Structure 1
Amino acid sequence: MSEIFLLLQDPTAWIALITLIVMEVVLGIDNLIFISILTNKLPPESREKARRIGIGLALVMRLALLGTVAWIVQLTEPVFEVFGHGYSWKDLILLAGGLFLVWKATKEIHHNVDPLDHEEDFIASSATNTFASAIGQILLLDLVFSIDSIITAVGMTPHLPIMVIAVVVAVTVMLLAATPLANFIERNPTIVMLALGFLLMIGTTLIAEGMGFHVPKGYIYAAMAFSALVDALNMLARRKRERDRAQKHSAH
């Protein structure tokens, strides 16, 4: 308790806390997009429950990982080399997560583009997109992002209470935003394809990071923000055209 009181009186601790919360929330956007697309394929009555359980278990997993910070930091040590480049367990986890995201996004894009294949997938959805598999996939992807964000957090502050508070706040924001975001994506079909494009880009970035090529996150989120802005303008233009057509029909 004395350590917490000392941290409360330290301005640098507050700056580190705010920075970590912002970082965790921004990194959580990737998770939310994936969770929204995944849970929207479940029956309507199970979607919100799946989001809550998935995000809740993700919080438990992140807090458990924070308790093993010393071990997680060691994951950055190279375990073998290929063509002169050392690969650590962190690199392998990022590679696996990136390949999973690329595979999942590509599969969903294919199903959205091919109507016949999409119909067959919908018929088989009760067998393939079960509640348990959705939760498992949410936890699998969150494990990849959690390890990456915790290693980053350790580099920003050595204080475990600050990391715990940042994770709890960020996951709470994710929990509050999950259902509104999923509903928005479901109401706007063009957003689904845009979100899948985001996942494809994030997966490719994870693969690059795992192979030792650092990609600044600012570029990724700037590209995502610009694409979202363009799509928002297209949505406004489309709604205006629909209103104009409705006014013309009413006039006749």
Structure 2
Amino acid sequence: MADYLAVFATPEAWAALATLIVLEIVLGIDNLVFISILTNKLPEKQRPAARRIGIGLALILRLALLATIAWIVGLTATVFDLGISGPPGDHGEVTFETAFSWRDIILVSGGLFLVWKATTEIHHHIDPEPSDSVFGDKRASIGFASVLVQIILLDMVFSIDSILTAVGMTDQVPIMVVAVVIAVLVMLLAAGPLARFINNNPTVVMLALAFLLMIGMVLIADGFGVHVPKGYIYAAMAFSVFVEVLNLIARKRRKAGDTAH
């Protein structure tokens, strides 16, 4: 125990911890938005339990992956190489990767799943009646289990990305564990308010689904070796949220003006 506490004895360790907590919370927002959208499809009484289970599974998966840290690092080793020569760049180098690791495979698979799920949800929100008529009462009976399965699948993808980020930030496992636990606790506290806000504002749901679609494409690109700077992604998301906030304020004021008249 003393050895673990000694890790936090230096300012560098606290700086790494603070930075890693922020990064883990930012990465967890994507996961939390997905959980909120999925659980909002359940009956009101089942939503809190589904959110807690989903976020609890996210914590368990992250801690389990931290316990096998050497194996996680090994996920970046090449599993197979397509052996395709890409178009040469300015200096004759190949401009895209053809070698794939297990990390790449997981990111591409998770990205494809996100793209499919976001597209399906967007279609459901635009044209809900056909889906309702097809599923009928069966949706309610399998909804909870179906939601949990989808949450687990995405938790696996986001957990891999989260732990690989932690490995890149520090080589101290105690710092990683503390950062992951704090980030997941923040997710747990924010899950309820975020889910209610998304449920009460339909346009926010469409914006969140668009974010998931973009995140899915970024994961696919990352799996193919095309690394999109995270700053660009979050800057675009922040600007979109700012525009949506202006829309929400405008709608609220119009509604208040209509009520006054």
TM (norm. structure 2) is 0.91
The one of 129, 146, 159 aligned to 1:116: 129
1:131 has 2:148 as partner: no
**Count of aligned positions:** 247
Q: Contact 1:36–1:178 at 8 Å: present in 2 too?
A: yes
More helix by share: 1
Whole-Å separation in 2 of the counterparts to 1:87 and 1:121 = 39
Q: Which runs of 4+ in 1 moved over 3 A?
A: none
Quote the offset at 1:121 in angstroms.
Answer: 5.9
SS in 2 for 1:23: helix
Secondary structure at the counterpart of residue 80 of structure 2: strand
Provide the rounded CA distance (Å) in 1 between the counterparts of 2:129 and 2:6. 62
Q: Which amino acid aligns with 2:68?
A: T
Please tell me whether the aligned partners of residues 30 and 212 of structure 2 are also in contact (alpha carbons under 8 angstroms).
yes
1:7 maps to a residue whose letter is V
| Partner SS, residue 168 of structure 1 | helix
Match in the other structure for 2:200: 187
Matches within 5 A, 1:127-166: 127-128=141-142, 130-166=143-179
Indicate how the Cα distance of structure 1 residues 220 and 169 shifts in structure 2: closer, same or farther if over 3 A, else same.
same
User: Which aligned pairs between 1:228-239 and structure 2 lie closer than 5 A?
Assistant: 228-239=241-252
TM-superposed deviation, 1:58: 1.6
SS in 2 for 1:76: coil
Report the Cα distance in structure 2 between the residues aligned to 1:96 and 1:53, rounded to whole angstroms: 23
RMSD between superposed Cα atoms in Å:
1.3
1:190 is displaced (CA, Å) by 0.6
Q: Which amino acid aligns with 1:62?
A: R
Q: Which position in structure 1 is the counterpart of 2:69?
A: 69
**1:199-238 CA-partner distances (Å, limit 9, x unpaired):** 0000010000011100111111111111111011011111
Once the two structures are TM-superposed, the CA of residue 5 in structure 1 deviates from its matched residue by 2.9
Tell me the CA shift for residue 134 of structure 1: 1.3
**Equivalent position amino acid for 1:11 in 2:** P
Amino-acid identity (%):
63
Aligned to 2:41, the other structure's residue is in SS state coil
Q: Residue 26 of structure 2 corresponds to which residue in structure 1?
A: 26
